[in-house]
């Protein structure tokens, strides 16, 4: 039987981040707490309460509203591991300036399906070796991954527009990462795009050209009452 995990991108970007994962049985969990709980309630797709929230790092657009979510489920703040009844998350420390930050390999216990999540990170071969080992070990094909800016636009930008970009993944960083991961037919959902130095249509076209075996989707978050949903 084919199972479809749903990813609901409630919000993504510097104004706030939150991602709802829902398995085939309706069990859900959340990644990040960068929006108020009422925003989650308005834009949620699942009908069951989330089993847990994992938060990658302390920056406010990812963590500011964490205390609100503690009222409805366990919240794990930048922890190397988190487990609920139907979900498991294994953390990998990644570089983002001097902030403790984790990427996560998330497993749906119902579907026996894996999702790799990473945001606000710099390309660091030494830290990525362990990640690649686990991605290859479990044959991970699903990626919810930051693509903050396009290198082409970065080269055209002035110094002020480039501020902070070196602490985030570019389109070429994503290409390198996916190639190194060994994923044969990856499904890639890009997150945390910059309003300054990314263009959604260019992003999808560029990644699809560099990774012809991949299915590429660019997330934008819920807009004007329209949910931003993806099936894996």
CA gyration radius, the chain = 16
- Each residue's pLDDT tens digit, 39-95: 999 999 999 999 999 999 999 999 999 999 999 999 999 999 999 999 999 999 999
Strands in 6-11's sheet, in edge-to-edge order, are 75-77, 53-55, 28-31, 18-22, 6-11, 229-231
Residue 91's pLDDT is what?
98
- Each residue's pLDDT tens digit, 91-150: 999 998 889 999 999 999 999 999 999 999 999 989 999 999 999 999 999 999 999 888
Note whether 170 and 206 are within 8 A (CB). no
Residue 150's pLDDT is what?
84
- Share in percent of the chain as helix, strand, coil (round to 5): 25, 30, 45
CA distance 55 to 181: 23
pTM (two decimals): 0.94
Burial class (CB in 10 A: 0-12, 13-18, 19+), 1: exposed
CA distance 167 to 133: 23
Answer yes or no: is pLDDT of 166 > 80. no
pLDDT > 90 fraction of the chain, expressed in percent and rounded: 82
Answer yes or no: is pLDDT of 199 > 90. no
Residue 157's pLDDT is what?
60
Going by the DSSP 8-state scheme, the letter that residue 45 receives in this structure is: -
Q: Looking at domain 6-220, which of 3.40.50.2000, 1.20.120.1200, 3.60.15.10, 1.20.120.80 is its CATH number?
A: 3.60.15.10
Q: Which residues 6+ apart lie within 8 Å of 69 measured at CB?
A: 30, 33, 37, 40, 50, 53, 75
Going by the DSSP 8-state scheme, the letter that residue 184 receives in this structure is: S
pLDDT band, very low/low/confident/very high, at 163 (cuts 50, 70, 90): low
CA distance 39 to 217: 23
Note whether 23 and 110 are within 8 A (CB). yes
pLDDT band, very low/low/confident/very high, at 225 (cuts 50, 70, 90): very high
pLDDT band, very low/low/confident/very high, at 228 (cuts 50, 70, 90): very high
The residue ranking higher by pLDDT, 88 or 193, is 88
Return the number of other C-beta atoms located less than 10 Å from residue 210's C-beta.
Answer: 16
Answer yes or no: is pLDDT of 155 > 60. yes
CA distance 35 to 31: 11
Mean pLDDT of all residues belonging to the chain: 93
Q: What angle do CA 113, 92, 192 make, to 5 degrees?
A: 80
């Amino acid at each position: 039987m084919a199972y479809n995990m749903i990813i609901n991108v409630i919000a993504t970007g510097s104004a706030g981040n939150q991602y709802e994962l829902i398995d085939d049985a309706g069990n859900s969990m959340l990644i990040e707490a960068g929006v108020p709980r009422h925003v989650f309630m308005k834009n949620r797709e699942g009908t069951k309460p989330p089993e847990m929230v994992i938060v990658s790092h302390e920056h406010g657009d990812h963590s500011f509203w964490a205390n609100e979510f503690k009222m409805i489920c366990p919240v794990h703040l930048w922890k190397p591991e988190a487990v609920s009844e139907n979900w498991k998350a294994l953390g990998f420390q990644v570089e983002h300036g001097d902030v403790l930050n984790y990427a996560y390999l998330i497993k749906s216990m119902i579907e026996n399906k894996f999702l790799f999540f990473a945001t606000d990170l710099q390309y660091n071969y030494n830290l990525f070796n362990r990640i690649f080992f686990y991605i290859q070990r479990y044959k991970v094909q699903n990626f919810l991954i930051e693509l903050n800016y396009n290198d082409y636009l970065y080269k055209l930008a002035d110094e002020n527009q480039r501020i902070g970009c070196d602490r985030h993944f570019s389109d070429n960083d994503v290409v390198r990462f996916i190639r190194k991961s060994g994923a044969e037919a990856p499904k890639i959902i890009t997150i945390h795009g910059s309003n300054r130095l990314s263009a959604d249509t260019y992003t999808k076209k560029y990644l699809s050209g560099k990774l012809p075996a991949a299915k590429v989707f660019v997330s934008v978050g819920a807009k004007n009452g329209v949910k931003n949903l993806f099936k894996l």
